[in-house]
């Protein structure tokens, strides 16, 4: 057996930033590294090309009547900027205080390494285990899995007969309490550019006669929320589904402290729509978030210019039953309506994700037609977690988006068991990302146990 932490360090060294074409070489490196590792433990590995970054598909072939689990992961990571905010180089993983620091250690290279390690151990112990396994590891999760849907459509055969998807790309609140994520927010991302004059203008010679496009953009952005923190787009909340009572109860078990959460974030006050706690807002409400804004002179010193244009990156997190296309139609129409007459506006849609919800077995509202293998896997997870973590998992929705989960549901009618392995202090998408190695070890044990109990008895 290989050393999972040593392997994870090697994996992190491939700076697989999918958003930036400058990192293409490292994307290939990360893909071939993880494919190679799966080959070493006996899987048939294939790199399935897409329009951008190929998908790694690695299969353990068994009998067609065995349960078939797809293990999903992604080999791409977020950009590491601003690099100067990191305490150690983002792509040279460093172990400090029981954690491994580096871009992608937690999102998603460490959790995927836990799955690979668990499978390797299980098959080493039980080489004849009656379980079909397929790893599907994509390279575009951080840029919205744009080609994953067409991959699923074009390669249904490679995933035929699968019963459910098993993955760890979600979070837990505390290192001693497992959370199975049963809902995810969706996404509708886009850019807005407002422009006015044909060129940058001298603010002395021309200042005072035209609508500065930065000013106009800030006026637009300011109009997108009400002062109580709600999104100010007519119809935005129309399709938000009522929260089930068991969901609020399950969330209550976390016993989360608003004070501690505010301290963790480093904020002195929350801004949450009325009648929701911050923890509910993250899980049950949609957002409209400005991720980046740019316009005019940003270098050192002043520059007295009226810029020709300004641009903003916006992403909406969506909740069931909001549809990305419908939300974008609403939001784009509102934006076009609010840009002052005479100014030019250009809206560029970016990636989408449909929100997701799965109801575990034995709940009041569990679908009657739930797959028996999925139900068995949920029960196996419940038992494995109780054994290894000392307490049953909580079943919670989460605020993040894993668009491919909705795609797997839509294209292949597959639900997912999302075993959380990331902690809030892991700093996902931020400088000094890290992964808790004790969580990784418990994760490996849990995954091994879940898969053992999911195999044909």
Q: Give residues 122-181 in contact with its own copies (rule: CB under 8 A).
A: 143-144, 171
> Is 1 a residue that touches its own copies (CB under 8 A)?
no
> Is 104 a residue that touches its own copies (CB under 8 A)?
no
Which of the 8 DSSP states describes residue 157?
A: G
> Is 306 a residue that touches its own copies (CB under 8 A)?
yes
> Is 403 a residue that touches its own copies (CB under 8 A)?
no
Give the residue with the Cβ less far from its own copies, 177 or 212.
212
Q: How far is the CB of 134 from its own copies (least distance, A)?
A: 26
> Is 245 a residue that touches its own copies (CB under 8 A)?
no
Pick one of 63, 64, 199, 365: the residue that binds its own copies (CB under 8 A): 199
Q: How far is the CB of 258 from its own copies (least distance, A)?
A: 9
Give the residue with the Cβ less far from its own copies, 66 or 236.
236
- The kind and range of the H/E element at 260 are helix 258-265
Q: How far apart are CA 267 and CA 199, in angstroms?
A: 40
Q: How far is the CB of 89 from its own copies (least distance, A)?
A: 18
Task: Specify the stretch interacting with its own copies by CB under 8 A; choose among 29-37, 126-134, 392-400, 439-447.
Answer: 392-400
Q: How far apart are CA 7 and CA 10, in angstroms?
A: 5
> Is 232 a residue that touches its own copies (CB under 8 A)?
no
Of residues 316-345, those binding its own copies (CB under 8 A) = 317, 340-342
- Given a contact cutoff of 8 angstroms between Cβ atoms, the answer to whether 184 and 165 are in contact is no
> Is 239 a residue that touches its own copies (CB under 8 A)?
no
Pick one of 131, 224, 327, 388: the residue that binds its own copies (CB under 8 A): 224
Q: Could you tell me whether strands 99-101 and 94-96 are parallel, antiparallel, or unpaired per DSSP bridges?
A: antiparallel
> With the C-alpha atoms ordered 378, 379, 382, 384, is the resulting torsion angle positive or negative?
negative
> Is 376 a residue that touches its own copies (CB under 8 A)?
no
Q: How many residues does the chain have?
A: 457
Pick one of 310, 345, 385, 416: the residue that binds its own copies (CB under 8 A): 310
> Is 103 a residue that touches its own copies (CB under 8 A)?
no
> Is 241 a residue that touches its own copies (CB under 8 A)?
no
Tokens, residue 41: 């433990």
Tokens, residue 433: 């990302």
| 174, HSE (Cβ side, Cα atoms, 13 Å) | 13
Backbone angles phi, psi at 183, to 5 degrees: -150, 150
- Given a contact cutoff of 8 angstroms between Cβ atoms, the answer to whether 31 and 54 are in contact is yes
Q: How far is the CB of 454 from its own copies (least distance, A)?
A: 28
- Given a contact cutoff of 8 angstroms between Cβ atoms, the answer to whether 112 and 50 are in contact is no
Task: Specify the stretch interacting with its own copies by CB under 8 A; choose among 90-98, 109-117, 210-218, 380-388.
Answer: 210-218
Radius of gyration of the chain (CA): 23
> Is 209 a residue that touches its own copies (CB under 8 A)?
yes
The CA-to-CA distance between both ends of the chain, in Å, stands at: 26
- Given a contact cutoff of 8 angstroms between Cβ atoms, the answer to whether 319 and 354 are in contact is no
Task: Specify the stretch interacting with its own copies by CB under 8 A; choose among 13-21, 37-45, 152-160, 240-248.
Answer: 13-21
Pick one of 398, 407, 448, 449: the residue that binds its own copies (CB under 8 A): 398
Tokens, residue 342: 């005479």
> Is 115 a residue that touches its own copies (CB under 8 A)?
no
Cis amide bond preceding 82, omega within 30: yes
**Site size toward its own copies, by CB under 8 A:** 99
The three-class DSSP label of residue 327 is helix
Give the residue with the Cβ less far from its own copies, 134 or 401.
401
- Given a contact cutoff of 8 angstroms between Cβ atoms, the answer to whether 425 and 261 are in contact is no
Per DSSP, what are the bridge partners of residue 134? 59, 70
> Is 256 a residue that touches its own copies (CB under 8 A)?
no
Closest CA to 350 of 326, 318, 316, 320: 316
Task: Specify the stretch interacting with its own copies by CB under 8 A; choose among 8-16, 96-104, 239-247, 271-279.
Answer: 271-279
Pick one of 127, 266, 274, 457: the residue that binds its own copies (CB under 8 A): 266
> Is 41 a residue that touches its own copies (CB under 8 A)?
no
Of residues 49-78, those binding its own copies (CB under 8 A) = 78
Pick one of 300, 337, 365, 369: the residue that binds its own copies (CB under 8 A): 300
Continuous H helices in 143-231: 148-154, 213-222
């Amino acid at each position: 057996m290989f050393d999972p932490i040593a392997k994870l360090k090697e994996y992190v060294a491939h700076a697989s930033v999918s958003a930036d074409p400058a990192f293409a070489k490292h994307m290939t490196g990360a893909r071939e590294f993880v494919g190679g590792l799966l080959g070493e433990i006996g899987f048939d590995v294939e790199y399935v090309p897409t329009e951008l970054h190929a998908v790694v598909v690695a299969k353990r072939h068994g009998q067609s009547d065995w349960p078939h689990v797809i293990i999903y992961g992604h080999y791409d990571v977020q950009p590491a900027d601003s690099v100067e905010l990191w305490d150690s180089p983002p792509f040279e993983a460093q172990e400090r205080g029981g954690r491994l620091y580096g871009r992608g250690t937690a999102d998603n290279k460490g959790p995927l390494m836990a799955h690979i390690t668990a499978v390797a151990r299980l098959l080493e112990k039980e080489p004849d285990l009656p379980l079909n396994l397929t790893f599907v590891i994509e390279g575009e999760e951080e840029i919205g899995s744009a080609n994953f849907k067409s991959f699923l459509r074009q390669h249904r055969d490679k995933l035929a007969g699968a019963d459910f998807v098993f993955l760890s790309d979600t979070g837990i609140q505390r290192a001693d309490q497992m959370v199975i994520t049963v809902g995810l927010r969706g996404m509708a991302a886009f850019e807005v550019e407002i422009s006015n004059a044909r060129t940058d203008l001298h603010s002395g010679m021309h200042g005072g006669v035209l609508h500065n496009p930065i000013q106009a953009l800030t006026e637009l952005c300011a109009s997108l929320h009400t002062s109580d923190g709600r999104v100010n787009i007519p119809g935005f909340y129309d399709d938000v589904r009522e929260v089930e009572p068991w969901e609020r109860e399950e969330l209550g078990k976390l016993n989360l402290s608003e004070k501690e959460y505010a301290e963790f974030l480093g904020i002195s006050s929350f801004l949450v729509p009325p009648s929701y706690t911050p923890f509910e807002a993250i899980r049950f409400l949609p957002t409209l978030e400005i991720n980046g804004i740019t316009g005019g002179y940003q270098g050192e010193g002043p520059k007295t210019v009226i810029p020709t244009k300004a641009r903003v990156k916006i992403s909406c997190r969506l909740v069931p039953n909001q549809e990305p296309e419908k939300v974008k139609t609403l939001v784009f129409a509102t934006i076009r309506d609010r840009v002052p007459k005479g100014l030019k506006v250009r809206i560029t849609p970016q990636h989408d994700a449909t929100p997701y919800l799965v109801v575990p077995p034995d709940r009041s509202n569990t679908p009657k037609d739930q797959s028996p293998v999925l139900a068995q896997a949920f029960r196996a997870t419940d038992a494995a977690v109780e054994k290894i973590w000392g307490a049953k998992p909580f079943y919670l929705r989460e605020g993040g988006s894993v668009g491919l989960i909705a795609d797997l549901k839509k294209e292949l009618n597959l639900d997912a068991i999302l075993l959380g392995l990331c902690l809030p202090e892991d700093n996902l998408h931020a400088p000094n990302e890290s992964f808790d190695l004790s969580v990784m070890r418990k994760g490996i044990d849990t995954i091994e146990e879940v898969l053992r109990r999911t195999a044909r008895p």
